[in-house]
Structure 1
Amino acid sequence: MPPHVAAFTDTYLPTVNGVTYTIRAWREHWSERGGRMDVIYPDSDHDRETGEHPVRSVSFPFYDGYRIGAPTVPDDVRDADVVHAHTPFGVGLAGLRLARRTDRPLVASYHTPAAEYAGYLAEGWLMNGVARAGNAYERWFLDRADRVIAPSDTTKTALEARGIGPVSVVTNGIDIDRFSPTDAAAFRARYDLPEPGERPVVGYTGRHGFEKQLSDLVAAANGTDLTVVFGGDGPARKTLKEQVADSDVDVRFLGFLDRDELPAFYSTLDVFGFPSPVETQGLVALEAMACGTPVVGVEAGALAETIDDGATGYHYDRGDVAGFRAALDRALGERDRLAETCLSRRESMSVERAVDALAAVYDAVE
């Protein structure tokens, strides 16, 4: 019988991001295997289901849409066999407390490098101090875990270089039944996007955070015949729109896309552009590839690993806008070949394989 898992997270539905979708997918597949995975998360307007436990929360003043949850342990999860913290902050501290009080193993997933978000809290020299403090706290928390989970080998290596461990790699995985090549005609018509062959379409979907450096995608497309499509939303959207107004580039902002629209979104694109240097895996890159869309991304963070250069897309050097444009041109010219390789690797991206690895971690720490 799979162990009863209590998953503590600071981000959950209705918030839209890779962490939310990963936890949701793992929970669903854990249940299909006969296991129980409860989720403890900051209270929101999400209609809770059985096994979901909201705790008191307040709005996070520095990042719209996020909430800070109280480090509270619901009574229903006190008998969990394994505690899984998806955050070192807020709600994650409740997970640490539960593990210590009940002498249960603590597994900690490393989804996001804390230091990369210091810019939302401070500026100038103070930002560096906030980043150092974030790193120190993150290290303190992870050192108390019986096992740390990283979503990629690149992230595992970076954690081990900081003296953090033991670390196991468990990819986030994606639902390959959902993410597959799709007839996108209705999607293109709904959003008035170019028809196939009319002009190249490059795009990105996900959180519009400043750390994602989405402005590089606009800059790389400036002066070209590309149509750039952004799905999602976030604090950098206003700045992006201002940049677009001063640029010679056709950019469409679609706003939040329902999960069911994403396969059509990816299938609309000729290439997915991914300039974010802070990814620990890059879930949207895997989703795009599973739909047969090659990815051009910065050779930094986990994207250096997630994108197989010359096979599923191309890399460019961080901050090199001309290099980004050249990589996009190359990927567009070789799209059919790259798409074929992407589709041939769909099985390796599946959430089923990810949950197999997750189960192995739980077995090892119990």
Structure 2
Amino acid sequence: MKAYLVAGVHPTIPAASGIRSYVLSLASRLASRGVAVVLIGVGPPAPVAFGEFRSVVATYPTSSYRFLRGLWRYARQCPVEEGAIVHAQRPDDLYPFLGMARGARLICTLHGDPGRGVRERRVLGRYLYGMAERRTLPAARRVISVTESGLRAYVARYPWLESKTSVIPVGVDLAAFRPSDRGAAKAAFGLHDRPTILFAGRFEPEKRVEVVIEAIRGLTQPPDLLLAGQGRLDSRMRALAGGLPVRFLGPVDRIRMPVLLSAVDALVLASSHEGLPTIVLESLACGTPVIATRVGDLSRVLEEGKTGFYFDGSPGALRDLLAMRWDSLLAMRSACARSAEPYSWDRVADRVMEVYDAAL
């Protein structure tokens, strides 16, 4: 079996991207099961252990529009073998292969609802994405949704989609993400022995990083806040954090992320919408509690008072929680690690293989 994994990511350059983590972990597990894996992505050439990397855009990072143009060129110039799997991570990324890979088996994974973010950001993008979605989803042999909530959003638009969709959550590499010595982890990042919280992700409007920054403002003894990632709002977040105990780490490589998660006392997410963020499972696997807004499928993995806390998305509510429930967080580490065990990547990869087999 040969599988082309299509995603606008680079295999070795760090980026705050749940899709990147998903694709690279899946590629590794598929290769270990005898699948010939080709990652179609972006950025400079790079060797990969799982198979082959083919870039369609030389620069990285790049926009979704450039990636799509690169995919169109690739699909015209490099025909996909008959019977091969083409597995895209967004409906619009599958669009270029509709007419250029007639003998291939098309599969799409829905990571939440990307159309929601497109509609919030771009007028033209709203039309183009909608057109691609309406054409690719009927053509896909099988569809994977990583969340129940994301599937419901799609089924509301396309009731027929449910019959060919499997809900398979994101996975976590339990060999890499596991509890480790906190003192050594703190030392690796040069952290002091004091309360520390972490945001890890893209600096984009829907992530609402400013809520986390504003929450520590006004606390008599605020925790240190680490921000791991980058995005369009980077300059604005740096200005907002002036005078506060905030440290910008930039993108953190997947190899170092388990150490970082073990070094902090809690992961904090204030997103307006999510599916099931990979970083949440990785944090829990490391024994680190999560404080988050109650969005997407988080309620399936995050248990209030046992593996973390929910808040309403306001800076004040998060500030009160940090002030009043801090001691509770420190007692959750064992429960957090246990809660991530059902999401092993080996289990997830086996289920993805079943979808591939059903598409042949």
Name 1:234's counterpart in structure 2: 231
Name 2:84's counterpart in structure 1: 81
Task: State the Cα RMSD in Å.
Answer: 2.8
Is the alpha carbon distance of 1:64 and 1:210 closer, same or farther for their aligned partners in structure 2, counting shifts above 3 Å?
farther
Is the alpha carbon distance of 1:305 and 1:46 closer, same or farther for their aligned partners in structure 2, counting shifts above 3 Å?
farther
Matched, 1:342 2:336: yes
Matched, 1:24 2:24: yes
Q: Is the 8 A contact 2:86 2:107 kept in 1?
A: yes
Which residue identity is paired with 2:357? Answer: D
Name 1:171's counterpart in structure 2: 169
Q: Is the 8 A contact 1:277 1:303 kept in 2?
A: no
Matched, 1:352 2:351: no
Which consecutive unaligned segments of at least 5 residues does structure 1 have? 122-126
Q: Distance in 1 between matches of 2:215 and 2:357?
A: 47
Is the alpha carbon distance of 1:69 and 1:328 closer, same or farther for their aligned partners in structure 2, counting shifts above 3 Å?
farther
Partner-residue secondary structure (3-state), 2:334: helix
Name 1:92's counterpart in structure 2: 94
Q: Is the 8 A contact 2:90 2:108 kept in 1?
A: yes
Which residue identity is paired with 1:236? Answer: L
Partner-residue secondary structure (3-state), 1:180: coil
Name 1:124's counterpart in structure 2: none
How far apart are residue 352 of structure 1 and its match? 0.6
Name 1:37's counterpart in structure 2: 37
Q: Is the 8 A contact 1:160 1:167 kept in 2?
A: no
Q: Distance in 2 between matches of 1:117 and 1:187?
A: 37
Is the alpha carbon distance of 1:6 and 1:270 closer, same or farther for their aligned partners in structure 2, counting shifts above 3 Å?
same
Q: Deviations over 1:165-200 (max 9, x none)?
A: 1321122201110011122435433543221xx3x2
Q: Deviations over 1:61-90 (max 9, x none)?
A: 76899785232236474234322122333x
Name 2:320's counterpart in structure 1: 326
How far apart are residue 346 of structure 1 and its match? 3.0
Q: Is the 8 A contact 2:37 2:52 kept in 1?
A: yes
Q: Is the 8 A contact 2:44 2:59 kept in 1?
A: no
Q: Distance in 2 between matches of 1:41 and 1:215?
A: 31
Q: Distance in 2 between matches of 1:82 and 1:331?
A: 48
* Counterpart pick for 2:153 among 138, 152, 158: 158
Moved more, 306-315 or 174-183: 306-315
Q: Distance in 2 between matches of 1:201 and 1:65?
A: 38
Partner-residue secondary structure (3-state), 1:358: helix
Q: Distance in 1 between matches of 2:172 and 2:34?
A: 20
Q: Is the 8 A contact 1:146 1:365 kept in 2?
A: yes
Is the alpha carbon distance of 1:39 and 1:96 closer, same or farther for their aligned partners in structure 2, counting shifts above 3 Å?
farther
Q: Is the 8 A contact 2:285 2:337 kept in 1?
A: yes
Q: Distance in 2 between matches of 1:355 and 1:298?
A: 28
Which residue identity is paired with 2:81? Answer: R
Is the alpha carbon distance of 1:120 and 1:323 closer, same or farther for their aligned partners in structure 2, counting shifts above 3 Å?
same
Q: Distance in 1 between matches of 2:70 and 2:208?
A: 28
How far apart are residue 119 of structure 1 and its match? 5.0
Partner-residue secondary structure (3-state), 1:363: helix
Which consecutive unaligned segments of at least 5 residues does structure 2 have? none
Q: Is the 8 A contact 1:173 1:349 kept in 2?
A: yes
* Counterpart pick for 1:313 among 308, 311, 321: 308
* TM-score, with structure 2 as normaliser: 0.86
Name 1:10's counterpart in structure 2: 8
Name 1:211's counterpart in structure 2: 206
Partner-residue secondary structure (3-state), 1:174: coil
How far apart are residue 147 of structure 1 and its match? 2.0
Name 1:272's counterpart in structure 2: 267
Which residue identity is paired with 1:86? Answer: Q
Q: Is the 8 A contact 1:204 1:274 kept in 2?
A: yes
* TM-score, with structure 1 as normaliser: 0.84
How far apart are residue 341 of structure 1 and its match? 1.4
* Superposition map of 1:67-78 within 5 A: 69-71=70-72, 72-73=74-75, 75=78, 77-78=80-81
